Every structure is written in C-alpha cells, then in structure tokens.
Amino acid sequence: MAYQGILQRYGSLLGLPDHTQQVTLLEGGTPLVPVPGLVEKLGGDFELFVKFEGLNPTGSFKDRGMTAAVSEAVGRGAEAVICASTGNTAASAAAYAARAGLRAIVLIPEGKVAAGKLAGAIVYGAQVIQVQGSFDDALALVVEITQRTPLALVNSLNPYRLEGQKSAAFEICDTLGAAPDWLCLPVGNAGNITAYWMGFEQYHALKKTGLPQLLGAQAAGAAPLVLGHPVEQPETIATAIRIGRPARGEQALQAAQESRGRILAVSDDEILAAQQMLAGEGLWVEPASAAGLAGLKAEVEAGNLDPRGKRIVVVCTGHGLKDPDVITHSMEKPRVIPAEMGALVDVIKVG
Ligand code: AN7
C-alpha cells in the first residue's frame, strides 16, 4: 500500500485519543543518509548517518508532531490552532491547519524568523503576528490565551506533538534494525529530544531495539540547559533554537542523563562549519540543524566521545532552503560575464 504518513504507520504506538481524525501531508518516512565522507573527516572507523528531516512536507521535523496535534484538535472540534514559534512550528501548524480547514494563528519574535519559514506560514494562510520580544515571550502569551479561550495550543507543550515526534525514533530503529549507539541533535524548546527518548524507550520495551546515548546541542548564546538557568536574551545565528526558557527543559535534561549522554553548547562558528561539512556531502540543512553534527565533532575532537566501532545518527531537523540568507549574506556575489565563449573559457580555466 502507498505510504500514508506516520499516524497510519505507527498509530497504535502513538498515544492519541479515539476522537483523533487523521490530518496528514504524508509526513515522515525521511531518509537515513550514510555520510562516509564525514566519517573520514572525523577520524574514521565508525558508521555515521544523517536523518534528513528537512525532507518533510513543510521542510522540518515539526510535521511529525503537527499531524498528531492537529488530528487530535480537529477530532475534538477545535476551530483554530495557535502557537509561538521560531519559524518551523509556525509553517507546519499553518500547513496542517490549512489541510484541516482550521484557522491558524502564529506568534513569532519580530525580525528573527528565517525567510523560508515566514513565507511558509504566510502562504498556508496563517495569521502571522510578530511579537516585540523573544520566542519565550511569545510562548508565554500563547500559553495564557489558550487558558482563557478555546484556541488549541500546538506548541510541544501539547503532549500529542511529542507522540507524533516519537515516530522518528521508530523509523531509525526500523531502518537500522536497532537503535544507534549515539543520537546527536539540536535542542531548542527541547520537545524533540524528549520525544526521541520516549520513542526509543517505547520501542526498546516492545522490540528490544536497544537505547542510544543522546548528545543534545544548544547554541552557545542560547544554552539554558548547559548553563543551568534561563537566558533572558538568547542570541544565535541558528534562529530556530534561539530559545532561553525551554518548555521541555527538565525532561530533556532527564532524557540526556538517563541515556548516559549529555547536552552541550556549540558556538555559531562551529554550527556554520558543520553546516558547510554537510553541504559538502550534498546535504543542505538550516543552521540549527547542523548543531548536532557540530556537537559530535566537538566531542570527538576533545576526546570526550570515542566513535570507534559505533553507529551514530545525526538528526538534521530542517532544510537549508528555509534560511538562504545565512549563505547569501556571507558569500561573494557569483561572477558576472558577457554571454561570450571567450569570457567563459577565461573564467573557468579548463583545458
Ligand atoms: C530546525 O519552530 O521551536 O528542541 O518554534 O526549528 O524540539 O524545540 C523550532 C525548533 C531544532 C529545536 N531544529 O527543536 C519552533 C521551534 C530546528 C528547529 C529545533 C527547532 P526543539
């Protein structure tokens, strides 16, 4: 049978109520891409895969949780969904709401959302509201208004978001035949790392697939879980994870600890270098998505993580097309030539 999305594939393992009415864009089923070229760069002698979540319908992993949250909301008769977002959740909520015929309202931090995400939220027809403040300020507003009105909250405080996001852990185990030794991923509001751990634990209880160690990476300018306290003014080029007060922070720390892993901070330079390394393998991911690889590289180089003989998965959470400005702003403009063969030969210097 043709692929029908994660609720169809894993529905019985996702704790969704009976009233759920499936709203799907055929999310999930993303590739686990081997990257032997990066293994070489990191010293060799292990296996490395990228779970390329940027290939979901709206270009990020958020679609896994959103199909679950919107399907539940529709089933209980909700007419509108609302979220705060650094961009990807907004685009995903907007798309699934459109699919379901619901109104979507998204609050984003003013001027801090990448172009592809903002455009997504707009084209899918959401009401987009810029807040003069951070993501954390926007989330506080959304939490309060959903306590007073029937608007359905679709941030990852909504438990069904996590239920849907567990599906990525199931897919990795199904593809590899077991859990990897390490799973490396970015951490922002901390829903994803929490959901992965729930998923790996559930699959292990059911199918003895084993448990990975989790390596979560926050941006150094937005690293509350590393610092041990909220960050009032988070700042990073990886705007997706520019979050100072993660809603699922406690659970994320517990997941990392239970897995015998950790959450660490990586600098913007390390994030951009990792983004370039992935691009060198033909995988263009947005900056936040490269944080997992940046964390792995830092730990391997510092001698804190011995990859030899291990099987490692790096989760790349969003597509590079979401945030083209990071690249185009930092590069030299491509050469311009007259439409003449002589000029072309001069420039490319072949033969
Ligand atoms: C590409 O869209 O929080 O730790 O509002 O877009 O589960 O929050 C995005 C987060 C990683 C962090 N990578 O995941 C939002 C939002 C990308 C992201 C994260 C985000 P969580």
Measuring CA to CA, which residue among 35, 26, 115, 114 is closest to residue 64? 26
In this structure, the residue with its CA closest to atom 10 of ligand 1 is 240
**Percent of the chain scored above 70 by pLDDT?**
100
The answer, yes or no, to whether residue 100 has pLDDT greater than 90, is: yes
Q: Probe ligand 1: pick from 60, 239, 242, 322, max atoms within 8 Å of CB? A: 60
| Atom of ligand 1 minimally distant from the CA of 318 | 1
The answer, yes or no, to whether residue 108 has pLDDT greater than 70, is: yes
* Ligand 1 binding pocket includes 289 (Cβ within 6 Å): yes
Q: What is the pLDDT of residues 271-319, one digit of tens each?
A: 999 999 999 999 999 999 999 999 999 999 999 999 999 999 999 999 9
Instruction: Return the structure tokens found at 259.
Output: 């897995």
The Cα-based distances of 118 to 98, 122, 143, 154, 172 in angstroms read: 15, 6, 21, 17, 30
- Sign of the Cα torsion 61, 63, 67, 72 reads positive
Find the 188 Cα to ligand 1 centroid distance in Å: 5
* Ligand 1 binding pocket includes 188 (Cβ within 6 Å): yes
Q: What is the pLDDT of residues 213-260, one digit of tens each?
A: 999 999 999 999 999 999 999 999 999 999 999 999 999 999 999 999
Per-residue model confidence (pLDDT) at position 330: 79
* Ligand 1 binding pocket includes 218 (Cβ within 6 Å): no
In this structure, the residue with its CA closest to atom 18 of ligand 1 is 240
Return d(Cα 249, Cα 192) in angstroms, integer: 11
In this prediction, residue 26 has a pLDDT band, given cuts at 50, 70 and 90, of very high
Per-residue model confidence (pLDDT) at position 228: 97
* Ligand 1 binding pocket includes 186 (Cβ within 6 Å): yes
Q: Probe ligand 1: pick from 88, 161, 237, 253, max atoms within 8 Å of CB? A: 88
Q: What is the pLDDT of residues 142-168, one digit of tens each?
A: 999 999 999 999 999 999 999 999 999
The answer, yes or no, to whether residue 135 has pLDDT greater than 90, is: yes
DSSP 138-189: HHHHHHHHHHHSSPEE-STTSHHHHHHHTHHHHHHHHHHSS--SEEEEE-SS
Return d(Cα 24, Cα 4) in angstroms, integer: 8
pTM greater than 0.85 (yes/no): yes
In this structure, the residue with its CA closest to atom 14 of ligand 1 is 188
Per-residue model confidence (pLDDT) at position 351: 62
Q: What is the pLDDT of residues 54-82, one digit of tens each?
A: 999 999 999 999 999 999 999 999 999 99
Mean pLDDT value across the chain: 97
